[in-house]
Structure 1
Amino acid sequence: MATINKQKIVDSVPQKGFFGNPKGLFTLFFTEFWERFSYYGMRAILVYYMYYEVSKGGLGLDETTALALVSIYGSLVYMSGIIGGWLADRIFGTSKAVFYGGILIMLGHIVLAMPGSLSMFFVSMVLIVLGTGLLKPNVSSIVGEIYAENDERRDSGFSIFYMGINAGAFIAPLVVGSVTGYSFHLGFGLAAVGMLIGLIVFVATKKKYLGLAGTIPANPLSQDERKATLTKIGIAALIVAVIIVISAVTGILTIKTFINLVGILGIVIPTLYFIFMYRSPKTTSVERSRLIAYIPLFIAAVMFWAIQEQGATILANYADKRTQLNFAGIEIKPAWFQSLNPLFIITLAPVFAWLWIKLGKRQPTIPQKFSLGLLFAGLSFLVILLPVYFGGSQSLVNPLWLVLSYFLVVLGELCLSPVGLSATTKLAPAAFSAQTMSLWFLASAAAQALNAQIVRFYTPQTEMAYFGVIGAASIILGLALLALSPKIQGFMKGIR
């Protein structure tokens, strides 16, 4: 996208009107709010739906398989952002990608809402994975488009946007988790309704509040290129579908081989992506330097999300099996614990947004903020060691220990995640703006693909080793990143 087009887009967006930010932030805030309501509502009960007995409305899978599949689900959701970013950059722009993605997500939740089998679950997986791949990276890219390149409100705007994400994520587990006593499918139905509301908000306000933002592909294909490319995509999709069907029928493609395959892709795809963008003739020398700076940030993000995303797998299982659910006269639903993370973010995000603006040029650099994120993430796992150490692996744990764990990881998330979104829009090569945002979400994909492999090592008997090793690894990586921060900052070529 040419520089003149970037400024033209900014000029088309009303620049005042939503907490001192561009008015388009309202549209994106509430679109993402409802999309996250639908996603986190589904995710809050997904692992329970998978391993609860059929007589209790679940699918009856063993716990280890269920934990791994939820991680794979999350990995594929973010991995598909590659497709969504490419389509937005090269064919129809980010705004249409958000709309089409919302439609697919809603259909996926509708499939889950209908009583079915494991095959219906995989159908919903395909729809939600593809839909989120279209919507998630592109709605964040539009946030970047409504600000001028050197607008100091950008980090604050992303923090407010991030608060919208977590407002939806906070309400969803409480609402959906409360109805699962009646039916898992009712909970999935509420997730579908949430996505429908998000679509209505986006369509009703985008023209007035977003102007040209999201309407101009960053690196569009010519008409001839488009026809040839779409033909190739169609043929490739058909071939992949045939291979999957044949592999499934012959027994080659099993749940275990599927999990292993996604685990490999979670590492290989982002590696190839970095190489492709670095070697592209459309990437300038300054942009190549910034990509080098982005690599250690990406690795740090993978480590962080490997811990944070276990809130929907290991810690969800921990809440269900190892935690006192009768506390202070309240019967706690296990899914409710997944509201803790967004609750703390809603509370603290304005504080962090204010803090970065208040500090101005004195605030920590991007690499320093990432290192703080890793330190807090590591501590969030280490505190889980204390109740196991004092009470043993057989006794039920006071729920306040889980509350403390979620609180610590949120402190790290607010140092790393909104800052990572903002840094991605700053460090992205111009020709790959939406695709670089997809690369940012590949950090979560890689983390969850990694989690799918390591959850097999978790049992009540191995809790000390499991939480201790992962927590210590995060702290060590955080300290290493802190030491390398000045060097990384130099490769950013003026970006702070």
Structure 2
Amino acid sequence: MSDNSSNQPPGRFLGGDSNRKNPEPGGLTGESQETAPLTETEVKADRAAKKADRKARSDKSFLGHPRGLMTLFSVEMWERFSYLGFQAILVLYLSDAVANGGLGYSEDVASSVVAAYGALLYLLSIVGAWISDRMTGTHHAVLWGAIVIAGGHILMGIPTEWATWGGLGLIIIGTGLLKPNINSMVGELYDKGDERRDAGFSIYYAGINIGAFAGPLVAGWLGQTYFWHAGFMAAAVGMVLGVIQYLVGSRHLAGRSRGQKIRRNFQMDATMWRLIGLVVVVIAIAVAFTVAQDDVLTSLVDIITALTIIVPVIFFVWMYRSPKVTPTERGNLLPYLLLLFALVLYNLLYFQSGNTLNLLALNGVDNSVFGFDYPSTWYISLAAIVEIIMGPVLAWLWIKMGSKQPHVAAKVGIGAVFGGIGFLFVALGASITPGGALMSGVWLVICYIFLGMGDLTLQTSGMSATTKLAPRAFASQTMALWFAAMALAQGIQAQIVQLYELENSVTYFGIQGLVVLGYGLLLVALTPYLKKRMHSVA
């Protein structure tokens, strides 16, 4: 299962286009420009950095691509291995009895905590993108993000509750630094006109899905077969390997010149202090989790849900009311809301692989085939298999159809339909399973196949539409709005998952499946209208 935030085109989320003139000082747009003459040392450093960038981009030693692509491929593969590996067992560990090595929380609280954790991660991704664009450059952001993530996984390998919450806090902060910036580093390996760029991203995304496939298999097996912290340590080993790979191969990466310029021109401003405040809030919440009881945990989750609602609303209203947005661009934003809503609804389903679907697989599914018993967490790897196989097929299909391919609104709607169908199959399987019996694993397999297809269709099309519908003055911030919508999906999910019980599986999965399926069909039906309203979008 690939992480949604990873299926995105190259580009920045905050900080604007570095080629813009007259950037907005102290805000979220623009990149600081040099106002003072450079010293001789700085001039020499710039020349050396530009030379190193040219060398990195001209290299063809990795399958005809720059050698730095192999470094980023490996780092992202291990990051996804560690992230999806530990996430596969997190809710099981939180809800398992203390006598069995778990933390003993109720399943509804454990599920909502997992969702709230994901919401904080996406909120911090917005901050991480800004830090890279305004403070550090991509190299330093990714390096420190990887180190902090590794530290978080190592902490989670320690069998104490305080280490669990502290580890989660570090993983949130580190992933917020790494995820929105490592994709941009892939783009930095290629000049704008380099025909290898798209193929390079395809290779890079293969690394993402390989890690997403292997993580739940390895960490899930270790955690469920031996003890939970064995799975967490496997995730830690994967991330440490990723850090080592990055340190060894960093000399082959590009983007040094831009990074030097960013670090040289960084100045503390009001926005920086606000973002520091947001990070402090996240750390404070992580600390509060270490001493919280179930009722306090629920209150903390409610606060996180409120944050995920407030942030995207502020983002959108700020953008929509800006005088920098033209009337045509403002007209594009309203239909774009319909696509964002589809993203939120779909991910309400997709992200439940880490909690309710995981608990269903553990307690309500027959996890055996031909006499072989397998860990319930292995189902999570299925979505990654689907995306590995079907990604090239879907890309070929769109190229083959050319101008006859569906409009982007229809593609997003079709993706939502796939997700709704996946949940309806789970509800169907639960409804025909006799009371007290275990549901066949085939129903979950079908569900994950549809979720993988939905993710592939909706995410790629939605990201593409985001880059096209974004107002020119807010090109990067519109991608930040996409991240905020992902956080919103997790925040709402943190409330919904509390309603899940094994006994109400038919109602729980059925209602959600019908709602998302219905909205997907509505988008498809509205496509002719949206096509007229969306300018410059095919």
What is the TM-score normalised by the length of structure 1? 0.87
Determine the structure 1 residue equivalent to 2:7. Answer: none
1:126 aligns with 2:137: no
Say whether residues 1:96 and 2:140 are aligned partners.
Answer: yes
Residue 320 (structure 2) aligned to one of 252, 260, 278: 278
Q: Indicate conservation of the 8 Å contact 1:160/1:350, yes or no.
A: no
Q: Which residues of structure 2 form unaligned runs of 5+?
A: 1-16, 22-30, 32-49
Q: Is the 8 A contact 2:89 2:220 kept in 1?
A: yes
One-letter amino acid matched to 1:101 = G
- CA, structure 1 residues 344+228, in 2 after alignment: closer, same or farther (shift >3 Å)? closer
Tell me: CA distance 1:260–1:202, structure 2 relative to 1, closer, same or farther (3 Å): same
Name the counterpart of 1:185. 229
In 1, Cα distance between equivalents of 2:305 and 2:494: 7
The yes-or-no answer on 1:136 pairing with 2:136 is no
Cα deviation 1:228-287 (Å, max 9, x = unaligned): 655565577668878998999899981011111111111211111122233445556665
Change (3 A) 1:412 1:235: closer
Is the 8 Å Cα contact of residues 78 and 133 (structure 1) preserved in structure 2?
yes
Deviation track 1:26-81 (CA, whole Å, cap 9, x = no partner) reads: 44433221111110011011011111112211111111111111111111111211
Q: CA 1:238–1:413 in structure 2 vs 1: closer, same or farther (change >3 Å)?
A: closer
Q: How do residues 186-335 of structure 1 correspond to structure 2 at under 5 angstroms?
A: 186-211=230-255, 215=259, 223=266, 225-226=267-268, 230=272, 254-280=296-322, 288-335=330-377
**Aligned counterparts of 1:258 and 1:318: Cα–Cα separation in 2:** 25
Matched residue count: 492
Report the 3-state secondary structure (helix = DSSP H, G, I; strand = E; otherwise coil) of the residue aligned with 2:365: coil
* In 2: Cα distance, 1:357 partner to 1:153 partner: 17
What residue number does 1:63 align with? 107
Residue 386, structure 1, aligned to residue 428, structure 2? yes
Q: CA deviation at 1:386?
A: 2.0
Match of 1:451 in 2: 493
TM superposition shift of 1:142: 4.1
Query: What secondary structure, in the 3-state scheme, does the structure 2 residue paired with 1:210 have?
Result: coil
TM-score by length of 2: 0.80
- Alpha carbons of 1:232 and 1:454: their partners in 2 closer, same or farther (altered >3 Å)? closer
Matching residue of 2:206: 163
Aligned partner letter, 1:65: V
CA contact (8 A) 2:139 2:256 kept: no
Q: Matches of 2:91 and 2:165 in 1, distance apart?
A: 14
Between 93-102 and 124-133, the greater mean CA deviation after superposition:
93-102
Contact 1:142 1:213 in 2 (8 A): no
* Secondary structure in 2 matching 1:59: coil
Once residues 477 and 451 of structure 1 are traced to their aligned partners in structure 2, the CA distance between those partners, rounded to angstroms, is: 17
1:106 aligns with 2:150: yes
Q: 1:352 deviation in Å?
A: 1.7
| Root mean square deviation, CA, Å | 3.6
Aligned position for 1:176: 219
Give the SS at the match of 1:473: helix
Is the CA contact (8 Å cut-off) linking 1:159 and 1:353 kept in structure 2?
no
Aligned to 1:439: 481
Higher alpha-carbon deviation: 273-282 or 155-164: 155-164
3-state DSSP of counterpart to 1:407: helix
> How far apart are 1:436 and its partner, in Å?
3.6
Match of 2:14 in 1: none
252-261 vs 408-417, which moves further: 252-261
**What is the CA distance between 1:146 and its match in structure 2?**
5.8
Kindly tell me: are residues 108 and 494 of structure 1, through their superposed partners in 2, closer, same or farther at Cα, counting changes over 3 Å? same
Q: Distance in 2 between matches of 1:271 and 1:22?
A: 40
Distance 1:476 1:213 in 2: 49
Q: Which amino acid aligns with 2:172?
A: V
| Residue 84 of structure 1, aligned match among 110, 128, 134 | 128
Aligned-partner Cα distance in 1 for 2:443–2:244: 40
Q: Distance in 1 between matches of 2:454 and 2:509?
A: 17
Does the 8 A contact of 1:290 with 1:492 survive in 2?
A: yes
**Range moving further from structure 2, 51-60 or 168-177:** 51-60
CA distance in 2, matches of 1:175, 1:433: 39
Secondary structure at the counterpart of residue 252 of structure 2: helix
CA distance in structure 1 between the partners assigned to 2:195 and 2:417 by the alignment: 27
